[in-house]
Amino acid sequence: MVHRVNFPVPKSTEPQATVTHFPLERLGDAELVMAAGRGDARAVAIIWDRYSALVRKVLRCALGPDSSIEDILQEVFIAFLRGAERIERASALRGYLTSVAIRQAALELRRRKVRRWVTLTPTGQIPDSPVAPRDTDGQEALRALYRVLDRMANRERLAFVLRHVEGMEILEVARTLRLSESTVRRALVSARNQLDRSLVREPALGAYLTGRQGAAP
């Protein structure tokens, strides 16, 4: 009878290679855009986490209180996904998303004007459910500001919001709106003149405009 002996297999003295995955959360915007363009759902989720709050803020500043903000936010990211493979400067994702948000806001402003013509309300918005008013000076000034913005052309309105609410430099405003610097400057002067003329009808704007005295257009 032959006895089978199992000899122990000597362990390799070579260091074992371990595979580690670099966390996507630590990737830069350019790498995330490339991954999103390849259909990586995790990269898309990280871009959403990184930039959805910014895009929401831009939309709120451009449109004011609006029940459609969340829907438009979704449209911005859908537009990004459709064009991710064609983004030329993937590292400039922040500016790209801001530009898409502004274009979507401009579309919504045009839709509001159409709704005013055909039906709905003086602002073109479907009335929201009533909420308890909180009558503070700041909120009244903000409401007054958006009443004035609603009377502006889209170019003046968006230029004003990006410059004086978002705090962008004029060249950045021009890139975002795809306009020349001189056109943006003219739009800002026009917007400021309209604000100045509205003081009679909107006295709550007085404190706001006083605080902006001397600011460059």
CATH code assigned at 97 = 1.10.1740.10
> What pLDDT score does 127 carry?
44
SS3 12: coil
Nearest C-alpha neighbor of 48 from the set 21, 74, 70: 74
Out of 64, 91, 125, a domain closes at 125
> What pLDDT score does 214 carry?
45
> What pLDDT score does 133 carry?
43
Tracing tokens 């459609």 back to the chain, one arrives at 68
Extract long-range pairs of 179-182: CB within 8 Å, 24+ residues apart: 179/155
Which residue ranges of the chain lie beneath pLDDT 70?
Answer: 1-24, 88, 90-91, 114-138, 207-217
Reduced to 3 DSSP states, what percent helix, strand and coil does the chain have, rounded to the nearest 5?
A: 65, 0, 35
Q: Are residues 114 and 144 in the same domain?
A: no
Residue 5 lies in a domain: no
Based on the structure, what is the number of domains in the chain?
A: 2
Specify the amino acid at residue 214.
Answer: G
> What pLDDT score does 207 carry?
62
Residue 39 lies in a domain: yes
Q: Are residues 46 and 64 in the same domain?
A: yes
Instruction: Give CA separation, 53 vs 30, 48, 76, 101, 128, in Å.
Output: 19, 8, 12, 12, 22
> What pLDDT score does 210 carry?
61
User: Which residue range(s) make up the domain with 191?
Assistant: 134-217
Burial class (CB in 10 A: 0-12, 13-18, 19+), 80: buried
Q: Are residues 178 and 151 in the same domain?
A: yes
> What pLDDT score does 23 carry?
64
